[in-house]
Every structure is written in structure tokens, then in C-alpha cells.
Amino acid sequence: MRKFEDTYRHKGLRKKLMDTLREKGITDERVLEAMNNIPRHFFLDTAFDNIAYEDKAFPIAENQTISQPYTVAYQTQLLQVKPQEKVLEIGTGSTYQATVLAEMGAKVFTIERQKKLFEKTKNYIFKSKYPNLKFFYGDGFEGLPTFAPFDKVIITAAAPFIPPKLIDQLKPGGKMVVPVDEDHHQRMLRITKNADGSTSEEAFQNFSFVPMLSGKNG
Ligand code: SAH
């Protein structure tokens, strides 16, 4: 059995990482506080213990990645999450991003299409700490109609287009943060659903994500 320890060294490295994120332009202290509270090294293989607090993406199982801390902070900041809001995440992956949202007090519903990654969430380390975080196996393009509508939607894989069913599942006034494919990168977009059901779009900087694929795998 793996022993999970959050030592003074880990905590110190984490604090430094938060300073790096501030230097790179992250300003929402609630996001930084949540990330400072979560031991990122718990979400990685022990081989990454010494580098877990570098501002880098790392491989996890099934050829997927845990997003770079800067990317997690950036998307979370754009999402403007408030406590008790219902948030749908597409792409559970390592569960790190979902944990950040749960730590901020949101009711989090996260979907993963890779069966093996979903199976791992059965041993999710913070199960008792975050009863507000629920895991689903499915295709993110379909969303979760039974639990809709959501205040916020966050997509953590490169979307070929803005998934229409996820717009349907947003509340009026709700927001979606989604990296959408352009040539060799993704442009971060924030979509706001207006009261009349129409949408407005804001464009931000470019990122690089693993692809959002349709259908389930496994
Ligand atoms: N949020 C994750 C990032 C994981 S990378 C983290 O914090 O670690 C993106 C994830 O999206 C991968 O695990 C991939 O399998 C998943 N994914 C890709 N397309 C998907 C889809 N259509 N539905 C659900 N998950 C999807």
C-alpha cells in the first residue's frame, strides 16, 4: 500500500509554485488557496514525487496527462466558481482539477471516457473529505442530462467544437470554459449563456491539451 505523506518539504514547494502562478498572472487568491491546500504529488505516481511541484503537465495512465498547474489555475480562474455552484467537468483524468473545484466548495460532477481511469476513482483518496465530488463514466459530449442544469462547465481536453449538448445543460447566466481546437493548439474560450438562451464568447490565450474524443473507451 502506498503511503501518502504531505511533508514540510512538499508544502514548501507548493507555496513556491503558488508564487510562480502569481508571477505568471494568476490573481484569484481563492484559486491559489485551494491549490495550495491540495497535495498535487498524491495525484501522481511516486516516481514524480520530486518534480510534482514544477509547473508542468505529467503523464498519468492510459496515455493521458495531469494538466499543468498554470492551466488548472487559469481555467479555474476563468470559471469564477462560487461555493455551492453545480459544476460539470469533462475529463476527470487524475482527479486533480476536480479536487480543486471541490476544495472551492462547488458541487462537482466529473466525467471520464477511459474506463481504467474511471475505475481508479473508486479509490479516490479524498472520498470522505469531498462528498460534494461525484465521478461518472461516460462520454463528455453527452454531458449529464439527469443532473443538469449546471452553473458552470469546464472541459479539460481539446474540444473539436463547442459541444452543443453541454450548452443546453448550462443554466441561463451559466458559463463554460473550453479549449477549442485551432491549427496546432487550442484557444481558451469562455462561453456565457444569456437569459434568452443565446451565447456570448470571450477568447483568451492558447494552450495544448490531449484530445476530447467521442464515445467511451473500455
Ligand atoms: N482534468 C484532468 C485532465 C486530464 S487530461 C486532470 O486534472 O488530471 C483530459 C482527460 O479527458 C483524459 O483523461 C481523457 O481521457 C478525457 N477525455 C477525453 N475526451 C473525453 C470525453 N469525450 N468525455 C470524457 N472524458 C474525456
| One-character DSSP codes across 148-176 | --EEEEEE-SBBSS--HHHHHTEEEEEEE
| pLDDT the model gives residue 151 | 98
Mutate to test the pocket of ligand 1, among 44, 45, 156, 166 (most ligand atoms within 8 A of CB): 156
pLDDT in tens, 169-212: 999 999 999 999 998 899 999 999 999 999 999 999 999 999 99
Whether residue 168 has pLDDT greater than 80: yes
- 1 pLDDT above the threshold of 80: no
Q: Quick check: 62 pLDDT over 90?
A: no
Q: Which protein residue has the closest C-alpha to ligand 1 atom 11?
A: 91
Is 181 strand, coil or helix? strand
**Cβ of residue 143 lying under 6 Å from some atom of ligand 1:** no
In the chain, pLDDT over 90 holds for what percent of residues? 94
Dump the DSSP string for 182-213: ETTEEEEEEEEE-TTS-EEEEEEEEE--PBP-
- Ligand 1 centroid – CA 8 distance (Å): 31
The domain limits of the chain are: 8-207
Measured between alpha carbons, how far is 120 from 92 in angstroms, rounded to an integer? 11
- Answer yes or no: is pLDDT of 218 > 90: no
67 as an active site residue: the answer is yes
For residues 118 and 98, the answer to whether their CB atoms sit within 8 Å is no
**Which pLDDT score, from 0 to 100, does residue 10 have?**
97
**Ligand 1 binding pocket includes 139 (Cβ within 6 Å):** yes
- How far does residue 211's CA lie from ligand 1's centre (Å)? 8
27-44: average pLDDT? 97
d(CA 164, CA 25): 31
Could you tell me if the CB of 93 is within 6 A of ligand 1?
A: yes
* DSSP string computed for 132-144: TEEEEES-TTT--
Separation of CA 23 and ligand 1 centre (Å): 28
CA 191 from centre of chain: 16
Q: pLDDT tens-digit profile of 138-164?
A: 999 999 999 999 999 999 999 999 999
Q: For 72-82, what is each residue's pLDDT tens digit?
A: 999 999 999 99
Q: Is the pLDDT of residue 61 over 90?
A: no
Question: Can you tell me the distance from the alpha carbon of 42 to that of 143, in angstroms, rounded to the nearest whole number?
Answer: 28
Distance (Å) from CA 94 to ligand 1 centroid: 9
Q: Is residue 63 predicted with pLDDT exceeding 90?
A: no
Q: Is 97 in the pocket of ligand 1 (CB under 6 A)?
A: yes
Mutate to test the pocket of ligand 1, among 112, 124, 125, 207 (most ligand atoms within 8 A of CB): 112
Domain 8-207's class? alpha beta
Length of the chain measured in residues: 218
Q: Is the pLDDT of residue 27 over 80?
A: yes
Indicate whether this model's pTM tops 0.85. Answer: yes
Per-residue confidence at 118, pLDDT binned at 50, 70, 90? very high
What's the count of helices (H) and strands (E) in the chain, helices before strands? 6, 9
Q: In testing the pocket of ligand 1, which one of 95, 99, 109, 113 has its CB within 8 Å of the most ligand atoms?
A: 113
Q: What is the pLDDT of residue 35?
A: 98
3-state helix vs strand vs coil in the chain, percent to 5:
30, 30, 40
Name the grid cell of 45. Answer: 505516481
| C-alpha grid cell, residue 196 | 434568452
Q: Which residues in 52-71 are b (16+ Cβ under 10 Å) and which e? A: bbbeebbebebebbbbbbbb
> What's residue 2's pLDDT?
81
User: What does DSSP say about strands 58-59 and 65-66: parallel, antiparallel, or unpaired?
Assistant: antiparallel
Q: Ligand 1 within 6 A of 57 CB?
A: no
